[in-house]
Amino acid sequence: MSLKTLSEARVLVVGAGLMGAGIAQVAAQAGHVVRLYDTRAGAAEAAKAKLAQTLEGLVAKGKLTLEAVQATLARITPADAPSGDIDLVVEAIVENLEVKRALFAELEALLPPEAVIATNTSSISVTALARGMKAPERLVGMHFFNPVPLMKLVEVVSGLGTAPEVAQAVFDLAARWGKTPVHARSTPGFIVNRIARPYYAETLMLLQDRAATPELIDACLRAAGFRMGPCELMDLIGHDTNFAVTNSVFAANFFDRRFTPSLVQQELVDAGFLGRKSGRGFYRYPDGAPALPIMAIASPRAARLVVHGRGALAERFAASVPEAVRELDSDWVGLATDGRQLRLTDGRRAADFGPGAAVFDLPLAPGGDIAYAGDAATAAWLTRLGLTPRAVADLPGLVVARTIAMLVNEAADAVQQGVCNEAGADAAMKLGVNYPAGPFEWLAYWGADAVATLLNRLDQHYRGERYRVSPYLK
């Protein structure tokens, strides 16, 4: 297949729904002539009219010029049927394998041989979609995120038959459209939907174990830098949708128990408590999460204070308690006070250290809510260290540490299996789901040994496949 660059491609967007309309906008704003086609009569015209309204609103706000908007709109033409004078099709129709395959067969009969077909599928295998095509090498995934004009990430997904030059041409085009493209291999969930699973799964495990409330877990992960906590995020996505994605990743991995869905979420779906859209999920809407209590905590006293360990966290603690002495060569990080120990979690529980010991969660940000397992004195010392203590059950890895470790582990497996590279995983998670850092940035900060140790301890505690350590980390 000979492929010219797609920089001046005549574009056909098929499907004028939520995603297709956004894709047509982005392509037209980048200067492409765009046809917009939908089987639903009037859908393409309606999408264009709605886009005109949105863009004119941006003119009123001074964000776009009237000329630019008129030029963009002039490039988009609603079409009654697909036609052959096209270099790139972007398909954004219903998420159904058979319907998409039928469309590709229809398109192949019309299009010139060098035309590229890109699918915006979010969950169907690109390899499977290409089966039956005359030229499977021309099909590639171009997975945008919602809302398309705002979200920077595009996963460029190669199936088994996709020609590398086709994937590269779509990658280069996405970059020209102002996006950050990332190459991915067509495996279940691609990059983002796969690596993100533990963000939900670890919370659901904690809830199943009755270790903490949804509002506490949300507060701790927000304090770690996530824009939304997992419970409020699942409520926003909708439990039906989130549960369906988890189930599809689980099934597509031949029921690898690592991806086992949660009974907690199953029950919400069974009840119809789907989140915001049904007025109730973990929380009731419009109110959302109840505020956590502000605790009055007495100033702690100790005759002797020792800050244990090295690194950024130990330095921060030493600055908060300048009267403390340092024990730099300690094999743990935290604070010792008259016969008590406050240890940064390494996956062991407070109970594993005997009386007087407490564990606290990984503080990814300098202040804010932090989970701990310990007594009232532990809470007082954490407050003194500038944190807002939140009591949880004494489980390995508490809230943030186990979540981050599992996100790192899933990303490591994805790289091990050639789904993407490290930079791709980091970009995908930061741009596709707004994570405060990429999994490999966390890994660099925390260290592979510490992550693997924590995962091994989770594995000893729970047994099963969920916490098996990625060979990539070993």
**Would residue 193 show up in a list of annotated catalytic residues for this protein?**
yes
Vertex 289 angle, CA 395 and 230, to 5°: 50
Establish if 83 lies at the interface with ligand NAI (CB under 6 A): no
Q: Write out the binding residues for ligand NAI, residues 144-183 only, by CB under 6 A.
A: 144-146
Of 236 and 297, nearer to ligand NAI (C-beta) is 236
Taking CB under 6 A as the rule, does residue 43 contact ligand NAI?
Answer: yes
Closest to 72 measured CA to CA, from 18, 115, 121, 11: 11
Return the amino acid letter for 319. A
Question: 98-103: which pairs have CB atoms within 8 A and are 24 or more residues apart?
Answer: 100/124, 100/129, 101/129, 101/131, 101/132, 103/14
Instruction: Out of 32, 91, 120, 122, pick the active-site residue.
Output: 122
The verdict on 193 binding ligand NAI (CB under 6 A) reads: no
Q: CA 412 → CA 238, 257, 393, distances in Å? A: 28, 17, 28
Cβ neighbors of 284 (< 8 A, separation 6 or more) are none
Catalytic residue at 299? Answer: no
CB of 94 to ligand NAI, least distance (A): 4
Residue with Cβ nearer ligand NAI (179 or 349): 179
Which helix (H) or strand (E) element contains residue 233?
helix 230-237
Phi-psi region of 17 (alpha: psi -120 to 50; beta: other; left: phi over 0): beta
Residue 65 in 3-state DSSP?
A: coil
Minimum distance, C-beta of residue 173 to ligand NAI, in the bound complex (Å): 17
Q: Pick between residue 19 and residue 373 the one whose CB is nearest to ligand NAI.
A: 19
Tell me the C-alpha distance between 181 and 455, whole Å: 31
Least distance to ligand NAI, CB of residue 431, Å: 14
Number of residues counted as binding ligand NAI (CB under 6 A): 23
Residue 228 dihedral angles phi and psi, to the nearest 5°:
-130, 145
Stretch in the footprint of ligand NAI (CB under 6 A) among 90-98, 252-260, 426-434, 440-448: 90-98
Which residues have C-beta within 8 Å of that of residue 37, sequence separation ≥ 6?
12, 13, 14, 15, 16, 44, 78, 79, 80, 81, 82
Minimum CB separation of residue 436 from ligand NAI in Å reads 22
Hey, which residues between 116 and 145 contact ligand NAI (CB under 6 A)? Answer: 120-122, 144-145
In the residue annotation, 122 being an active-site residue is answered as: yes
- Part in contact with ligand NAI (CB under 6 A); list of ranges 36-44, 134-142, 264-272, 427-435: 36-44
Q: Choosing from 91, 137, 155, 215, which is the catalytic residue?
A: 155
Q: Is residue 18 a contact residue for ligand NAI (CB under 6 A)?
A: yes
Residues in contact with ligand NAI by CB under 6 A are 14-20, 38-40, 43, 92-95, 99, 103, 120-122, 144-146
Show which residues are catalytic: 122, 143, 155, 193
